[in-house]
């Protein structure tokens, strides 16, 4: 069977009962991470402006803009909500940098509203399917060669979820994915330059997924050989070198959501290891910022290109999120990592900026390439001592997963950071309880009421 046909059939035929219990649990963690991130990121740079822009340009009121309120066309709501969810970079992710939850969940919620509602079981199934398809189409950093992994891959997740909730038939699902194949794009230069385009690209993947499902529903067709054709997805983004056998291997039998990562710290996945490592070294050896002469942060070339530099720039939050130097200096100077550390005032703190300038060296070291998140630290103390550390499996990755309590704590940290008068403790509790028991819900759209003023 063709890969395209197999994916469309899998999406069409899969029911909630077919989704393993551990996969359902992962979807709930995705939901909790995404909605915490949306609460915290609602007023981050560009997010309020995009929400207001979508309401200003108007259109048929089909779906809700979370946090800010208002009804807009479904794809516009997916876009605005996705941008908010990605803004503070604490949603789920997977190497080499695909952020799936902040695309697939806003697309699913918009499609649910467009469809007139769906059960919690249907909502979970759509998110699980979208995530699974994206994971099976995911590529390596060498394949993508600078394309934004989210922009290339996550559109398949949002298209899948939207098609499932709009109850499209198998052939129309196939065309939804085929249309989505023409929307793969985005450059990692957005991240390196610290631009707000990082979160905008995320929004486009959610928007495009909903649009592709709607276009397919009214009869628009896409290239049905988008995976196996001469100018297929793999030809365009993997130079024909990708082993494609895993795309449909054990489809529906071996779900891959267990490979997702969740972030302990509000920054790029490539900074999680070095942040965790320096905090652990401080605890073990008892040194302080004043004891340090110099710190070397050694990372492999992919990480160095993405997070190897730092400047405050026009968008300090994005620049700090994507800087190993900032994340390590912040951990050394402040000990505890919080969302506020990635706000303008904390980023511009003279203590942190001076430490970065005089005492942090981020080094491109090909020998560190033991794994995607590997990093080494060398701390030179003023008394002559040299302390070395290495990390390959940072917190939140499958080999070192976050606990349920850690997921809940991060959610409440996001609520506290937002400081929204209308988001009372009771409402935050209700949203958490709804997510943790969403499979019992008659209508998943209840989430919109819980996350709107």
Which residues partner with 292 through β-bridges? Answer: 381
Which residues partner with 299 through β-bridges? Answer: 364, 375
CB 129 within 8 A of CB 11: yes
Q: For residue range 88-126, list pLDDT tens digits in order.
A: 999 999 999 999 999 999 999 999 999 999 999 999 999
Burial of 211 (0-12, 13-18, 19+ CB in 10 A): buried
Q: How confident is the model at residue 194 (pLDDT cuts 50, 70, 90)?
A: very high
Q: Which residues contact 116 (CB under 8 A, 6 or more apart)?
A: none
| 365/225 Cα distance (integer angstroms) | 40
Q: For residue range 408-451, list pLDDT tens digits in order.
A: 999 999 999 999 999 999 999 999 999 999 999 999 999 999 99
CB 126 within 8 A of CB 164: yes
Of 64, 56, 35, 68, nearest in space to 415 by CA: 35
| 167/63 Cα distance (integer angstroms) | 17
- Residue 240, both tokens: 């024909």
For the chain, give every domain's residue range: 3-264+406-450, 269-391
Q: Give me the residue label for tokens 């994340």.
A: 327
Can you tell me whether residue 295 is helix, strand or coil?
strand
The yes-or-no verdict on residue 174 having pLDDT over 80 is yes
The arrangement of secondary structure in 269-391, i.e. its CATH architecture, is 2-Layer Sandwich (3.30)
Burial of 284 (0-12, 13-18, 19+ CB in 10 A): exposed
Q: What is the pLDDT of residue 239?
A: 80
Burial of 350 (0-12, 13-18, 19+ CB in 10 A): exposed
| 73/210 Cα distance (integer angstroms) | 10
> Across residues 283-304, what is the average pLDDT?
97
* Conformational region of residue 419, where left means phi above 0, alpha means psi within -120 to 50, and beta covers everything else: left
CB 15 within 8 A of CB 125: yes
* Conformational region of residue 73, where left means phi above 0, alpha means psi within -120 to 50, and beta covers everything else: beta
> Across residues 115-143, what is the average pLDDT?
97
- Residue 51, both tokens: 């929400």
Q: For residue range 51-74, list pLDDT tens digits in order.
A: 999 999 999 999 999 999 999 999
Q: How far apart are the first and last CA of the chain?
A: 49
- Residue 241, both tokens: 């070198």
Q: For residue range 223-275, list pLDDT tens digits in order.
A: 999 999 999 999 999 987 788 889 999 999 999 999 999 999 999 999 999 99
| 306/137 Cα distance (integer angstroms) | 22
Q: What is the pLDDT of residue 25?
A: 98
Dump the DSSP string for 208-247. Answer: HHHHHHHHHHTT----TTTTTSTT-HHHHHHTT-S--GGG
| 268/291 Cα distance (integer angstroms) | 27
The yes-or-no verdict on residue 343 having pLDDT over 80 is yes
Domain 269-391 in the same topology as domain 3-264+406-450 = no
Among 3.40.50.2300, 1.10.275.10, 1.20.1250.20, 1.10.4100.10, what is the CATH number of 3-264+406-450? Answer: 1.10.4100.10
Of 92, 118, 97, 80, nearest in space to 28 by CA: 92
User: Global pTM?
Assistant: 0.97
Average of per-residue pLDDT values in the chain: 97
> Across residues 332-348, what is the average pLDDT?
95
């Amino acid at each position: 069977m063709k890969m395209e046909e197999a994916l469309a059939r899998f999406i069409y035929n899969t029911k909630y009962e077919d989704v393993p219990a551990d996969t359902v649990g992962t979807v709930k963690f995705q939901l909790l991470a995404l909605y915490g991130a949306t609460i915290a990121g609602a007023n981050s740079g560009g997010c309020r402006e995009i929400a207001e822009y979508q309401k200003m340009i108007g259109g048929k009121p089909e779906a809700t803009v979370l946090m800010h309120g208002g009804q807009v066309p479904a794809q516009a709501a997916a876009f605005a909500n996705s941008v908010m969810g990605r803004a503070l970079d604490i949603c789920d992710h997977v190497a080499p940098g695909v952020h799936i939850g902040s695309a697939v969940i806003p697309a699913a919620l918009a499609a649910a509203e467009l469809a007139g509602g769906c059960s919690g079981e249907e909502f979970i199934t759509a998110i699980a399917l979208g995530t699974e398809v994206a994971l099976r189409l995911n590529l390596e950093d060498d394949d993508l060669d600078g394309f934004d992994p989210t922009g290339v891959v996550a559109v398949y997740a949002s298209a899948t979820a939207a098609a499932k909730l709009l109850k499209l038939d198998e052939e129309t699902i196939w065309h939804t994915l085929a249309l989505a194949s023409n929307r793969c794009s985005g450059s990692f230069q957005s991240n390196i330059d610290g631009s707000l385009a990082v979160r905008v690209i995320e929004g486009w993947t959610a928007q495009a997924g909903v649009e592709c499902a709607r276009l397919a529903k009214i009869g628009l067709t896409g290239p049905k050989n988008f995976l196996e054709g001469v100018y297929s997805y793999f030809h365009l983004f993997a130079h024909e070198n990708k082993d494609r056998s895993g795309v449909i291997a054990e489809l529906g039998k071996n779900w891959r959501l267990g490979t997702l990562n969740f972030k302990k710290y509000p920054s790029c996945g490539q900074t999680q290891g070095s942040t965790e490592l320096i905090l652990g070294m401080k605890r073990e050896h008892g040194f302080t910022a004043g004891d340090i002469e110099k710190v070397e942060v050694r990372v492999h070339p992919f990480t160095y290109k993405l997070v190897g530099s730092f400047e405050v720039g026009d968008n300090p939050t994005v620049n700090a999120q994507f800087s190993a130097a900032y994340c390590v200096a912040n951990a050394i100077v402040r000990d505890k990592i919080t969302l506020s550390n990635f706000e303008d005032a904390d980023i511009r703190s003279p203590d942190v900026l001076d430490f970065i300038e005089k005492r942090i060296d981020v080094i491109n070291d090909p020998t560190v390439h033991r794994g995607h998140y590997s990093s080494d630290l060398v701390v030179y103390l003023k008394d002559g001592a040299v302390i070395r550390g290495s990390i390959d499996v940072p917190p939140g990755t499958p080999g070192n997963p976050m606990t349920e309590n850690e997921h809940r704590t991060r959610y409440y940290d996001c609520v506290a950071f937002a400081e929204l008068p209308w988001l009372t403790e009771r409402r935050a509790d209700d949203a958490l309880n709804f997510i943790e028991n969403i499979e019992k819900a008659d209508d998943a759209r209840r989430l919109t009421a819980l996350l709107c003023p």
